[in-house]
């Protein structure tokens, strides 16, 4: 069976199980995204994950980088990073369709430890796209076939998940993924700093403070942070503040200034200006629009 035949069967099986825009499948951490129309840019947070497009195409913007991918390529993120994505090819009779697997770092680490002959980890961005290989597509197909055999999932799904991750580790993004298990790797050092930003997004944070947490000099830290995330530490924190403000505006409609101060802004005017630049509308108008389309307000992006 050719890789296009495999992708066609994957598409047909995923369409059969897709229920609405986002479907949580019977296989843990595997979702199906289906959309029958182009979308505007939707901002959110990428967690470590793999996305395989089965039909249509998408554009992701992370920092200053744009990534375009379709069913000939897959997207992978090995680090938590704010971004935005847009479905650029979709129609009612030809919907955008994609499978996503949230990466379990413990599983990735365990597989890496069984692959002693791999080349050493390498520095680089914490996300990217690569061509789909026949081996990766075949492993996905066998995993998706389990949707129709739920009794087999507890035994077979973990093995197939490991195979998919194994194929990722053999590909162009393997060196970056391998950094996840090396405690003194650049990626692990940057992830420690990211963890601090995410826990303290509403507080004053300096590059010097984050560099100390990462165990680097401020200049080296700033360079490697931008290499991995495509944005500066302060830009990263700002995006987290804006995403959290958006979530709070949706959950508790009310005073925009109060929300601005609650996420760390000292000026409601500055908050409104940066919010509008990030999401395309003022806080009040954006929150009102999203209440009618709550699926766009999700904090996590599916790839």
8-state DSSP, 24: E
pLDDT at 119: 63
* Calpha distance 201→241 (Å, rounded): 6
The single residue listed with the structure tokens 């961005």 is 125
CB 140 within 8 A of CB 25: no
Strand, coil or helix: what is 139? Answer: helix
Q: pTM for the complete prediction?
A: 0.84
Here the contacts of 191-196 (C-beta below 8 Å, separation 24 or greater) are 191/79, 191/80, 193/221, 193/225, 193/233, 194/79, 194/80, 194/229, 194/236
Q: What's the full length of the chain, in residues?
A: 303
What residues does 96 pair with on adjacent strands?
Answer: 35
Q: Where are the domains of the chain?
A: 3-180, 183-231, 235-297
The secondary structure element, H or E, covering residue 272 is helix 268-279
* Calpha distance 65→231 (Å, rounded): 9
* Cβ atoms within 10 Å, residue 14: 23
Please give the average pLDDT of every successive group of 10 residues along the chain, which has 303 residues.
Answer: 92 94 95 93 88 95 91 90 92 95 90 75 79 96 97 97 93 82 76 93 94 94 92 95 90 84 93 91 83 54 66
Going by CATH, does the domain composed of 3-180 fall within 2.60.120.280? yes
Closest CA to 176 of 106, 233, 236, 229: 229
Q: Kindly write down the DSSP assignment for every residue of 248-262, as one continuous string.
A: HHHHS-S-HHHHHHH
Going by CATH, does the domain composed of 235-297 fall within 1.10.10.60? yes
């Amino acid at each position: 069976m050719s890789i296009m035949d495999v992708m066609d069967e994957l598409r047909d099986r995923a369409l059969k199980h897709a229920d609405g825009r986002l479907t949580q499948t019977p296989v843990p951490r595997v979702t199906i995204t289906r959309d029958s129309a182009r979308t505007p840019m939707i901002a959110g947070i990428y967690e470590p994950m793999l996305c395989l497009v089965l039909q249509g195409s998408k554009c992701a913007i992370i920092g200053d980088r744009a990534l375009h991918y379709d069913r000939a390529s897959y997207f992978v993120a090995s680090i938590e990073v704010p971004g935005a994505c847009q479905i650029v090819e979709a129609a009612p009779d030809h919907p955008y369709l994609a499978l996503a697997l949230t990466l379990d770092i413990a599983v990735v680490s365990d597989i890496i430890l069984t692959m002693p002959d791999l080349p050493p980890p390498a520095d680089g961005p914490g996300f990217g796209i690569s061509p789909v290989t026949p081996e990766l597509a075949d492993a996905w197909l066998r995993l998706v076939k389990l949707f129709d055999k739920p009794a087999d999932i507890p035994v077979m799904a973990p093995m197939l998940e490991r195979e998919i991750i194994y194929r990722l580790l053999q590909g162009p993004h393997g060196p970056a993924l391998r950094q996840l298990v090396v405690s003194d790797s650049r990626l692990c050092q940057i992830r420690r700093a990211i963890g601090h930003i995410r826990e303290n997004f509403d507080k004053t944070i300096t590059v010097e403070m984050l560099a100390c947490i990462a165990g680097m000099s401020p200049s080296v830290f700033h360079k490697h942070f931008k290499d991995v995330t495509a944005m500066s530490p302060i830009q990263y924190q700002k995006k987290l503040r804006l995403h959290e403000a958006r979530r709070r505006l949706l959950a508790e409609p009310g005073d925009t200034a109060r929300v601005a101060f609650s996420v760390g802004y000292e000026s409601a005017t500055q908050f409104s200006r940066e919010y509008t630049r990030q999401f395309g509308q003022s806080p009040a108008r954006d929150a009102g629009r999203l209440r009618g389309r709550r699926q766009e307000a999700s904090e996590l992006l599916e790839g």
